[in-house]
A and B are shown apart, each in its own frame.
Chain A
Amino acid sequence: MIYDLAIIGGGPAGVAAGIYAARKKIESVIITDFFGGQSLISASIENWIGDKSISGFDLAKKLENHLRFQQGIDIVEGDTVLRIIKERGRFVCITKNNKKIEAKTLFIASGSRRRKLDIPGEKEFEGRGVFYCSTCDAPLFKDKVVAVVGAGNAGLEAVQDLSLYAKKIYLVDQADTIKGDVVTRERIEKNEKIKIILNIQINKILGDKFLTGFIYLDRNTSQENKLDIDGVFVEIGSVPNSEIVKDFVEINNAGEIIVDHKTQQTSMLGIWAAGDVTDVLYKQNNISVGDAIKAVLNINEYLRGV
């Protein structure tokens, strides 16, 4: 079977594309490990249009239900596209479970993944003191001392999650300012449990069986210091999942797929992209949805030879 369209990714962009493709009767398949995208682990999303507040988990369920309600779209869940090859003008997606899925066009909505610190000890102590999901693991830090690395919105959210449990929280960043939203920042600055240390560089995670702290360079004083903590939560941004198409389409220095923002077309005919994997200026669930729809409407015209 050769599909008209293969959609890669099950976040807001992928699901929006699936729904529009089904309604346009484009023969399509969607391939995703899970539904919901990166917001899945968000405790509360307050800017998803149409919901005052919704958890990432509930949003994922809503997206999945809306997609499954459509007729005529195949859903491959629990699988990931590892490689794409071009054969006789068609794209063949090869998945982790060794499936081969052939399609005339591709829509890439593979999103992005957590950036890691990439320093000694990080991998070794993952789950043993180094954590990446504050909504998941914050409750385990009751009366403990923790650090959050990264003072963007995700970092500030992690501090908030942890402030319900931990007895002391260090918020640290390599920049010398806090980039997160003013409202959250003000709330955090007032909280006596929270200490902010800016303009530092973390060099090494320390520990024995479990993490005990980290060594950092304080750029304000040019001194190396040690911070004793029970856990560290890493919230330092993301890396686009663009590797699968890097041989086909143009990618910028940040690893993002460069698209035409009017149509979401990439530099290769037959491949479209939307969401966090692209060079869209603002990475937002609502924007990913809109951009994905633009792409599918354009794919529809392409397939019908308009």
Chain B
Amino acid sequence: MKVIIYTAPNCVYCQMAKDFFSKKGVSYEEKDVSYDQGAFGEMVKKSHQKGVPVIDINNEVFVGFNRNDIEKILKILK
């Protein structure tokens, strides 16, 4: 499973998402879009919006952090 979390500093929902994946023992790649313009462009292209967090799980893209949605897809993938 490949997980990318697009984040910004001080973003609480980003932190919640990261904590969630850590607790589940799922490793992820973090991309801070506040300074990484390339990552920002990538995030906008994937999610068609500019807010953080954006979570990409095996190319399925979630805007914001909704624990239930993420839990559901993790169950399917596991």
Contacts and interface: CB of A to CB of B under 8 A. Distances in A.
A139 B8 contact: yes
A128 B48 contact: yes
Given A78-B67, A78-B68, A140-B33, A57 B15 contact: yes
Interface stretch (A68-76, A84-92, A129-137, A262-270): A129-137
Given A127-B51, A128-B49, A129-B50, A137 B68 contact: no
Interface of B: 8-16, 33-34, 40, 47-52, 63, 67-68, 71
B48 A139 contact: no
Interface in A109-144: 126-129, 131, 133, 135-140, 142
Given A97-B68, A127-B50, A139-B10, 13 more contacts: A57-B15, A78-B68, A78-B71, A127-B49, A133-B51, A135-B10, A136-B12, A136-B51, A137-B50, A139-B8, A139-B34, A140-B33, A210-B50
Given A139-B10, A139-B34, A131 B68 contact: no
A287 interface: no
The size bracket of the interface on A is 20 to 34
A50 to B, nearest CB: 21
Contacts of B34: 139-140, 142
Interface of A: 34, 40-41, 43, 55-57, 78, 96-97, 126-129, 131, 133, 135-140, 142, 209-210, 231
B12 A40 contact: yes
A136 B14 contact: yes
A127 B68 CA distance: 20
25 contacts: A43-B10, A57-B12, A78-B71, A96-B68, A127-B50, A127-B51, A127-B63, A128-B50, A131-B51, A133-B11, A133-B51, A135-B11, A136-B10, A136-B11, A136-B14, A137-B51, A138-B8, A138-B10, A139-B9, A139-B34, A140-B34, A140-B51, A142-B34, A209-B48, A231-B50
